[in-house]
Amino acid sequence: MTAPLLSESSEAVVRATAAVVAAHAEEITGVFYPSMLAAHPELLRVFNTGNQATGEQSKALAASVVAYAVQLIDPAAPPFDHVLRRIAHKHVSLGIRPDQYTIVGRHLLAAVGEVLGDAVTPEVAAAWDEVYWLFATQLVAEEARLYHLAGVDPALPVRPYRVVRRVQETAEVVSLVLEPADGEPLPEILPGQYVSVFADLPDGSRQPRQYTVSSTRSGARLQITVRRVRGRDGAPDGRVSAFLHDTVAVGDLLDVSTPSGDVVVEDAQAPLLLASAGAGITTVLPVLEHVARTQPQRKVVVAHADRTPADHALREAVLRVGAELDDFTALAWYEQPEPGDTTSRRGFMDLSEVPLPEGVQVFTCGPLPFMRQVRATVLSRGVPAAAVRYEVFGPDLWGAAPEPEVAPVPHQGVHPQRVGV
Ligand SMILES: Cc1cc2nc3c(=O)[nH]c(=O)nc-3n(C[C@H](O)[C@H](O)[C@H](O)COP(=O)(O)OP(=O)(O)OC[C@H]3O[C@@H](n4cnc5c(N)ncnc54)[C@H](O)[C@@H]3O)c2cc1C
Ligand code: HEM
């Protein structure tokens, strides 16, 4: 994707004001969401109330708009395509439509005016309006392409699926096996993709959440694997994960989106390292299933970190499918291994000593601090940055937070409280 050009006059204004907008970006998005959701309560059925409460969605939106503006005015800015693709996939899974960009634009630009006050002259407003609409146009185009490829009408973005089985994987993790209830076959699902599941909650509200398709082994059904999210320090428990654990039963219907997400494994020959922590394991099993089906000779190393072996969901399934590969290695780190366990390692994941095959591609999924550590370690061992991909189980704040030093820190990994996104 080539970035479009700002008009000359707007470019000068954006150059002059980018720093001040960046400095206030989170304040702006913090004003924007409440005002838009108050004016359009119907949007509460697509926006995630958890991410609103924690402010994560605000941060992700602010960071993306600032990064977009910077790459418009600075040819040396970091590549932006992957950010745009990630947002477009997320939007498509939620059924976002082109007409809704007018609503977001109006409230976002009003929030810029409210926060920056007199600094927003008509020229400044016009320049940022142009930035917004360039971004919006690129997103709308990419989303139109994705809807078209998936054969999905954005006015009808979900299909009903019936829960045909529940599997209690661990005390805190349940898998739901879902079958299309409209008699049509499963859509194409690439290994690593997620679906948005729309939950009609007992209080009458409707809330979407994304869940990785953790298995498609049967070919006619898809499986999601859900970790129960507990509230910490007085925060409430997760709404949708609790609903899926406690209320949804075999036979119930759930509205499910088209599979989305661009962090997928391609059919290259390169060996794979799949590094996961906690609920991040859900991205590992579908990749292994795919490799077992299509390239069983491909070398795969899986590395997983969890609190205890009892918390390690999908472990047996991963080992079973891994055994179908010609060259498969499974490594595990537990903060509290079982007494007498000589095969797994104690403590946090440390990839500094693990043999890395030549030309390895790394996929990582888990809490952000864990993924940063994985990335830093493999980069320090000579893996090129382009060979490392990650999936965030929430709004992507990777770019919004500072990067760590790129150096391995032995025996330092996931904070115990953060294992299991
Ligand atoms: C691409 C992607 C793939 C994913 N795949 C999986 C998967 O395979 N398996 C899986 O288990 N999860 C997955 N997730 C995460 C999943 O989408 C949900 O985020 C998760 O289930 C939590 O949703 P919830 O409704 O239970 O929690 P929410 O109700 O959304 O709460 C989330 C957090 O916000 C806090 N919070 C809520 N309200 C407040 C408040 N008022 N004040 C302070 N804090 C508050 C809660 O305590 C909790 O910690 C994925 C996410 C993404 C984006
Ligand atoms: C140029 C305009 C827009 C930008 C820059 C933008 C940006 C973003 C970003 C950065 C995310 C987080 C992606 C992630 O990392 O997961 C996101 C998610 C989302 N966007 Fe947009 N967006 C825009 C327009 C819209 C519109 C028009 C709507 C519809 C009303 C919308 C609804 C949503 C929703 C519901 C989510 C998921 C929120 C969550 O899970 O908390 N967005 N968007």
Counting ligands in written order, which one lies closest to the CA of residue 193? 1
Regarding the beta carbon of 230 and ligand 1, being less than 6 Å apart is answered no
**Secondary structure (DSSP) of 17-34:** HHHHHHHHHHHHHHHHHH
Quick one: 37 exposed, middle or buried, by C-beta within 10 A (0-12, 13-18, 19+)? middle
Q: Which band of pLDDT confidence, cut at 50, 70 and 90, is reported for residue 404? A: very low
Ligand 2 centroid to residue 61 C-alpha, Å: 7
User: Is the domain 272-418 a CATH 3.40.1160.10 member?
Assistant: no
Regarding the beta carbon of 212 and ligand 1, being less than 6 Å apart is answered yes
Amino acid at 277: A
The encoded tokens of residue 166 equal 């529940």
Ligand 2 centroid to residue 91 C-alpha, Å: 6
Q: Which band of pLDDT confidence, cut at 50, 70 and 90, is reported for residue 78? A: confident
Predicted local distance difference test score (pLDDT) of residue 90? 98
Task: Please say if the pLDDT value at position 250 is more than 50.
Answer: yes
Predicted local distance difference test score (pLDDT) of residue 403? 44
Residue 244 DSSP one-character state: H
Strands 158-170 and 253-257: antiparallel
The encoded tokens of residue 405 equal 């030093």
Task: Please say if the pLDDT value at position 143 is more than 90.
Answer: yes
Amino acid at 272: L
Predicted local distance difference test score (pLDDT) of residue 201? 97
Percent of the chain past pLDDT 90, that is, above it, reads 87
Maximum Cα–Cα distance for the chain, whole Å? 71
Most informative mutation of 40, 46, 61 for ligand 2 (most atoms within 8 A of CB): 61
Regarding the beta carbon of 142 and ligand 2, being less than 6 Å apart is answered no
Average pLDDT, the chain: 92
Predicted local distance difference test score (pLDDT) of residue 2? 60
**Class of 8-150 in CATH:** mainly alpha
Where exactly does CATH 1.10.490.10 map onto the chain?
A: 8-150
The CATH number of 158-257 is 2.40.30.10
Ligand 2 centroid to residue 211 C-alpha, Å: 17
CA distance 131 to 129: 5
Where exactly does CATH 2.40.30.10 map onto the chain?
A: 158-257
Residue 135 CA: which ligand 2 atom is closest? 1
Predicted local distance difference test score (pLDDT) of residue 7? 94
Mean pLDDT across 304-310: 97
Q: What is the 3-state secondary structure (H, E, C) of 135-198?
A: HHHHHHHHHHHHHHHHCCCCCCCEEEEEEEEEEEEECCEEEEEEEECCCCCCCCCCCCCEEEEE
Predicted local distance difference test score (pLDDT) of residue 400? 63
Mean pLDDT across 71-83: 90
Where exactly does CATH 3.40.50.80 map onto the chain?
A: 272-418
Residue 173 CA: distances (Å) to CA of 62, 179, 421: 33, 20, 12
Over the Cα atoms of the chain, what is R_g? 22
Q: How many other CB atoms are there within 10 angstroms of residue 416's CB atom? A: 11
Which phi and psi (to 5°) does residue 328 adopt? -130, 130
Mean pLDDT across 116-131: 95
Mean pLDDT across 218-232: 95
Q: For ligand 1, atom 40, which residue shows the shortest CA distance?
A: 53
Q: Which band of pLDDT confidence, cut at 50, 70 and 90, is reported for residue 1? A: low
Task: Please say if the pLDDT value at position 32 is more than 50.
Answer: yes
Query: Counting every residue, how long is the chain?
Result: 421
CA distance 212 to 193: 6
Regarding the beta carbon of 393 and ligand 1, being less than 6 Å apart is answered yes
Predicted local distance difference test score (pLDDT) of residue 222? 97
Compare 413 and 358 and report the one with higher pLDDT.
Answer: 358
Counting ligands in written order, which one lies closest to the CA of residue 174? 1
Predicted local distance difference test score (pLDDT) of residue 219? 87
**Secondary structure (DSSP) of 98-120:** TTHHHHHHHHHHHHHHHHHGGG-
Percent of the chain past pLDDT 70, that is, above it, reads 93
Task: Please say if the pLDDT value at position 141 is more than 80.
Answer: yes
Ligand 2 centroid to residue 88 C-alpha, Å: 8
Predicted local distance difference test score (pLDDT) of residue 406? 35
Residue 396 CA: which ligand 2 atom is closest? 15
Compare 4 and 146 and report the one with higher pLDDT.
Answer: 146
Asked whether the beta carbons of 349 and 280 are under 8 A apart, the reply is no
Mean pLDDT across 300-324: 98
Predicted local distance difference test score (pLDDT) of residue 397? 79
CA distance 161 to 177: 9
Predicted local distance difference test score (pLDDT) of residue 5? 87
CA distance 187 to 284: 20
Asked whether the beta carbons of 367 and 375 are under 8 A apart, the reply is no
Asked whether the beta carbons of 298 and 269 are under 8 A apart, the reply is yes
The encoded tokens of residue 43 equal 């949007």
Regarding the beta carbon of 279 and ligand 1, being less than 6 Å apart is answered yes
The residues assigned a catalytic role are 101, 143
Asked whether the beta carbons of 25 and 120 are under 8 A apart, the reply is no
Mean pLDDT across 248-271: 95
Q: Which long-range contacts (CB under 8 A, 24 or more apart) does 290-297 make?
A: 290/191, 290/265, 291/191, 291/265, 291/325, 292/321, 292/324, 292/325, 294/267, 295/267, 295/269, 296/324, 296/325, 296/326, 297/325, 297/326, 297/327
Residue 218 CA: distances (Å) to CA of 110, 121, 186, 308, 310: 50, 60, 11, 29, 26
Mean pLDDT across 90-106: 97
CA distance 60 to 311: 30
SS3 266: coil
